[in-house]
Amino acid sequence: MISQCMNPACGKELHYLRNGRVIRTTHRHGGQVKVEHFWLCGECHVDYDFLFAKDGHVSLTRRPNYVASTKPALDLLLVS
């Protein structure tokens, strides 16, 4: 269960899924399928995005600087 923003410097609590970005990852670990969910609040998603490693780990990466009118859309992304 997601309880707060993935950005450790933020820690904002998740109350609604209407602001920010949620991802779901699935990968095999031994004979089991592991499902994980991650959330970046709307404020953090403007400056950060998810980085997916080949080993299944998810971390944060800073977004490049954008022109003011090209900020990323806030959406839902399912990754498997």
User: 64 or 65: whose pLDDT is higher?
Assistant: 64
Does residue 4 lie within any of the structural domains? no
Does residue 29 lie within any of the structural domains? yes
Residues 74 and 42: their CA atoms lie apart, in Å, by 7
Domain count, the chain: 1
* Residue 68: C-alpha distances to residues 6, 11, 61, 65, 75 (Å): 24, 25, 19, 9, 18
| 54 band by pLDDT with thresholds 50, 70 and 90 | confident
The per-residue pLDDT for 75 is: 60
Does residue 3 lie within any of the structural domains? no
Does residue 12 lie within any of the structural domains? no
Residue with tokens 């859309």: 73
Q: Which domain holds residue 33?
A: 21-78
Q: Which amino acid is at 69?
A: S
Does residue 62 lie within any of the structural domains? yes
Does residue 70 lie within any of the structural domains? yes
The per-residue pLDDT for 64 is: 83
Residue with tokens 């839902």: 76
